[in-house]
Amino acid sequence: MEQDHQDVVTPGKMVRNDIHGYEPADLNNVNREPNALRVSTSPDIMETPTQKPAEVTSSAGEQENQVGEDDENHGENAHSQLVLYDPTITATAEAKPLRARKKSLPNYTSRAFPEVGAFAVQCARCFKWRYIHTKEKYEEIREHISERPFYCETTREWHSDKSCDDPPDLTQDGSRLWAIDKPDIAQPPPGWERILRIRAEGGTKFADVYYESPSGQRLRSKVEVERYLEKHPEYVARGAEPNKFSFQTPKPLQEEYVKKRRPAPSHDINGAYDVNPISWVPPDGNAGLLGGSVPSAPSDAAPLHVPDGNSPKKARLTGKSDAVIK
DNA sequence: GCCACCGGTGGC
DNA sequence: GCCACCGGTGGC
Residues A14, A185: contact at Cβ < 8 Å? no
For chain A, give the percent of residues with pLDDT over 70: 44
Bridge-partner residues for A81, per DSSP? A121
Predicted confidence (pLDDT) at residue A94 exceeds the cutoff of 70:
no
Nearest nucleotide from residue A105 CA, by C1' atom: C12
Per-residue flag: A205 CB under 7 A of strand C? yes
pLDDT for residue A262: 59
Residue at shortest CA–C1' distance from B3:
A316
Average pLDDT, chain A: 60
Burial zone of A141 (CB within 10 Å; 0-12 exposed, 13-18 middle, 19+ buried): buried
SS3 of residue A255 by DSSP: helix
Handedness of CA A215, A158, A239, A226 (dihedral sign): negative
The strands making up A251-252's β-sheet, listed across from edge to edge, are A129-132, A118-122, A80-85, A177-180, A251-252
Q: Which nucleotides of B are covered by protein (CB under 7 A)?
A: 2-9
Separation of alpha carbons A113 and A118, rounded Å: 14
Beta-carbon neighbour count of residue A170 at 10 Å?
26
Per-residue flag: A223 CB under 7 A of strand C? yes
pLDDT for residue A116: 73
Separation of alpha carbons A7 and A24, rounded Å: 9
Nearest nucleotide from residue A220 CA, by C1' atom: C5
Three-point CA angle A34, A36, A38, nearest 5°: 85
pLDDT tens figures, A35-72: 222 222 232 222 223 333 333 333 333 333 333 333 33
CA of A51 to C1' of C9 (A): 18
Nearest nucleotide from residue A260 CA, by C1' atom: C1
Predicted confidence (pLDDT) at residue A129 exceeds the cutoff of 50:
yes
C-alpha closest to that of A213 among A169, A253, A244, A258: A244
Separation of alpha carbons A285 and A107, rounded Å: 16
Per-residue flag: A316 CB under 7 A of strand B? yes
pLDDT tens figures, A137-167: 999 999 999 899 999 999 999 999 999 999 9
Per-residue flag: A18 CB under 7 A of strand C? no
Q: How big is chain A, counted in residues?
A: 326
Nearest nucleotide from residue A110 CA, by C1' atom: C11
Separation of alpha carbons A3 and A118, rounded Å: 17
Per-residue flag: A203 CB under 7 A of strand B? yes
Residues A172, A300: contact at Cβ < 8 Å? no
Nearest nucleotide from residue A208 CA, by C1' atom: B5
Per-residue flag: A222 CB under 7 A of strand B? no
Per-residue flag: A28 CB under 7 A of strand B? no
DSSP code per residue over A257-268? GSPPS---S-B-
